[in-house]
Amino acid sequence: MYLENTAPNMKLRNILFLLSILFLACQAPQQVQSLQATHYRVSKDSVAADPKVTAMIAPYKTRLDSLMNIDIIHAEGEFKKDQPEGSLGNMVCDVLMRYATQQGYSPDLCLMNNGGLRIPVIYKGSVSVRTIYELMPFENQLLLLKIKGMKMQELLETIAATGGAPVAGIKMEIDNRSISSLTIQGKPLDVSKDYWVLTSDYLANGGDKADALKDPLEVKDLNKLIRDVLIETLAAMDTEGAHLVPITDGRISKK
């Protein structure tokens, strides 16, 4: 379980509001009137800080740093990226499933990719906005895809062949890179059934060998960046008096 009682706090609205204000404030509508390119040769010895530029960006950097350093939630242990299963990937998928469920959806599977988790570990202690940006620096959208049972089988066989991936909603045992046992939401795979997969737009487009996700029966765009979902949901959990406990529960294992 990821939830344990702690003193509740009210940081969620502040985090979301301040982030939106900061990034909107730093942008103004612009229209290109002309374009002229000049090429310069740059080396590490030729680059020096421009005092005027430094002074100009200093207020924005100070505000950005203050927002990035906001603590979201407390981690009771280390969350590590690993295969076939890692506590970091488990946490990410479980939090995304939590969000989707709260929005009224019922995903059968959440699938992420280890390559999309850009830091190997979240350490015990406070988890900040900066930590989540370092974990998920890309602008990946969260999608729900409806796929046929045969495509689900193909997808899970790919996960087994590649040695595992961050998932939630399934329990799978891998033997010699093949599936030896499998349940989805506690039930055997039914190739005649349609399944909903919660995933990133990168994987939905066939990235990281997820070709089975291409051309789905239906797509629901949740209109949220995965990074923002993590920040928002973790902050909400914290306000409810929760903190994070790393788990590896055998959702993917090897013989």
**226-239 vs 87-102: helix axis angle to the nearest 10?**
80
Query: Cβ contacts of residue 42 below 8 Å, gap of 6+?
Result: none
Distances (CA, A) of 177 to 122, 158, 173: 28, 9, 9
Long-range contacts of 83-86 (CB under 8 A, 24+ apart): 83/114, 83/163, 83/164, 83/165, 84/163, 84/164, 84/174, 84/252, 84/253, 84/254, 85/164, 85/248, 85/250, 85/251, 85/252, 85/253, 86/114, 86/166, 86/248
> CA–CA separation, 139 vs 151, rounded Å?
26
- Please check the confidence at residue 1 and state whether its pLDDT lies above 50: no
Give the containing element (helix H, strand E) for 228. helix 226-239
pTM: 0.81
Q: What is the pLDDT of residues 145-182, one digit of tens each?
A: 999 999 999 999 999 999 999 999 999 999 999 999 99
Give percent of the chain with pLDDT exceeding 90. 73
- Please check the confidence at residue 49 and state whether its pLDDT lies above 90: no
- Please check the confidence at residue 246 and state whether its pLDDT lies above 70: yes
Cα 74–Cα 68–Cα 82 angle in degrees, nearest 5: 55
Residue 171, classified by CB atoms within 10 Å of its CB into exposed (0-12), middle (13-18) or buried (19+), is middle
148 beta partners: 194
- Model confidence band, residue 67 (pLDDT cutoffs 50, 70, 90): confident
Q: Residue 213 — left, alpha, or beta (φ > 0 → left; ψ -120 to 50 → alpha)?
A: alpha
> CA–CA separation, 110 vs 156, rounded Å?
12
Structural domains of the chain sorted by starting position, each given as residue range(s) with its CATH number in brackets? 12-18+59-248 (3.90.780.10)
- Model confidence band, residue 50 (pLDDT cutoffs 50, 70, 90): confident
- Model confidence band, residue 77 (pLDDT cutoffs 50, 70, 90): very high
